Chains A and B, each alone.
Chain A
């Protein structure tokens, strides 16, 4: 079975532009989460969606938004890009498992560079 897929792999934008990142979850997974990983740091939680509804949001500005589609794929949108938005953006999908715990399975990420 295919794992979590993300597109594009790499992206270069300039300050002030807008970007859309895409994620397809593992087949059968209904939850998608987004994380931002700045170089040299651990991933930081941005959003979690389940059945197209936002289930959680991290401490990120309103420039960041996301949505989940009926086929459970997801988009992360970032407006008015800043240099500090340069990072690896990771998507994870999950499905309830042992003891009802959703275990996150991560995609390869999208490397965003803002110039």
Chain B
């Protein structure tokens, strides 16, 4: 069985400040891990994915995430928030290569000027 927990349903950051979104997973096998972003009234856009090639993964729009097996975490960061980063962010896990995804509940990010 696998599951994903995202800590904090809402996060408010100032423009230019660090963005940190937390994700912890449980999986009976080495997982594949993903971060997706969803803008209002849109589908999901892939930000980045972990496939065991490297523990630090760089994605689009300046985001990156670090896989820490000992902590079963895959937190998402961005050094400097931009107004356009306001959206909902989902962490997801897959335990097989078919890509069937188990999503967390999501974290809504608000960016204040």
Contacts and interface: CB of A to CB of B under 8 A. Distances in A.
A70 B45 CA distance: 27
Given A98-B53, A106-B43, A42 B99 contact: no
B44 A106 contact: yes
Contacts of A92: 44
B72 interface: no
B63 interface: no
Given A42-B106, A99-B52, A106 B45 contact: yes
B44 A44 contact: no
Contact of B43 (A99, A102, A103, A109): A109
B100 A45 contact: yes
Contacts of B92: 42
A98 B53 CA distance: 9
Given A99-B53, A101-B97, A41 B102 contact: no
B51 A45 contact: no
Interface string A78-114: 0000000000001010101011111111111100000
A104 B97 CA distance: 11
Contacts of A99: 51-53, 97
A104 B101 contact: yes
Given A101-B49, A101-B99, 5 more contacts: A92-B44, A103-B49, A106-B36, A106-B44, A108-B43
